[in-house]
């Protein structure tokens, strides 16, 4: 090959490299951007649902709190006529309230015990972060707080060990058991 031919070949490689670089920076790969956007949208949706549930809990707490304040104000407005009768009545009310509280606690324990165990399938795709699994677990009512579960995975260095696949998860499993299942162990 002559010197002229080698220079033309080198110039061709140089121009090809410039064209490839130009297309790479001007027209980025759409599949990676759309996947990233979809993941961001999913994360934002789960954050919104989490915040909505917290707002609902706070509204319920606010509604219950003023009702308790009204009862206290009503009892403060009643004049005390006969202290002995009031003391006897208050002791009886206290005993009644204690038994009611104990009954309520027993009922709540029974309700907790009666919660059915939910079994669900969690599917993790190649390259998906552990937060996707946490979002699926929240959506399927396996866990109550996806951020807490994701923090658990990060704190225990389990997040990078989560493997792609489909896993059967039950609502009675602890975070440790769920993490072990998601790691394929």
How many CB atoms are closer than 10 A to CB 145? Answer: 15
Length of the chain: 185
Residue at 36 is within a domain: no
Let me know: does 131 contact 44? Beta carbons within 8 Å. no
The angle subtended at Cα 48 by Cα 44 and Cα 51, nearest 5°, is 135
In tens, the pLDDT along 49-78 reads 888 888 888 877 777 765 555 555 555 555
Residue at 37 is within a domain: no
Residue at 143 is within a domain: yes
Query: Token pair of 71, please?
Result: 């009862």
In tens, the pLDDT along 32-49 reads 556 667 778 888 888 888
What spatial distance separates the first Cα and last Cα of the chain, rounded to whole Å? Answer: 61
| Rounded-to-integer distance, Cα 183 and Cα 161, Å | 6
Let me know: does 148 contact 99? Beta carbons within 8 Å. no
Residue at 82 is within a domain: no
Residue at 147 is within a domain: yes
In this prediction, residues 18-23 reach a mean pLDDT of 91
In the prediction, which pLDDT does 9 show? 93
- Structural domain total, the chain: 1
Residue at 140 is within a domain: yes
In tens, the pLDDT along 105-121 reads 565 555 545 567 888 88
H helix intervals, the chain: 3-26, 30-77, 83-114, 130-139, 146-155, 175-182
In the prediction, which pLDDT does 135 show? 86
Check whether 12 has a pLDDT greater than 90: yes
In the prediction, which pLDDT does 14 show? 95
In the prediction, which pLDDT does 106 show? 60
Q: What CATH number is given to the structural domain containing 167?
A: 3.30.1490.480
Residue at 32 is within a domain: no
Cβ-based burial of 42 (10 A; exposed 0-12, middle 13-18, buried ≥19): middle
Model confidence band, residue 103 (pLDDT cutoffs 50, 70, 90): low
pTM of the predicted structure, to 2 decimals: 0.39
Domain hosting residue 132, numbered range: 119-182
């Amino acid at each position: 090959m002559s010197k002229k031919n080698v220079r033309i070949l080198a110039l061709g490689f140089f121009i090809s490299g410039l064209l490839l670089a130009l297309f790479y920076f001007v027209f980025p790969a759409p599949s990676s951007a759309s996947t990233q956007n979809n993941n961001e949208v999913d994360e934002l949706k789960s954050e919104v649902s989490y915040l909505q549930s917290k707002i609902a809990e706070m509204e319920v707490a606010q509604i219950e709190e003023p009702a308790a304040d009204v009862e206290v104000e009503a009892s403060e407005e009643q004049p005390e006529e006969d202290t002995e009768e009031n003391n006897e009545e208050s002791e009886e009310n206290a005993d009644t309230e204690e038994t009611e509280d104990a009954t309520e606690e027993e009922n709540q324990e029974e309700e907790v015990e009666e919660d059915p165990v939910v079994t669900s399938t969690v599917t993790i795709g190649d390259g998906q972060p552990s937060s996707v699994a946490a979002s699926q677990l929240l959506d399927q009512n396996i866990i109550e707080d996806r951020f807490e579960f994701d923090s658990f995975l990060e704190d225990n260095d389990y997040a990078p060990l989560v493997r792609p696949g489909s896993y059967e998860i039950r609502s009675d499993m602890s975070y440790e058991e769920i993490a072990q299942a998601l790691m394929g162990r």
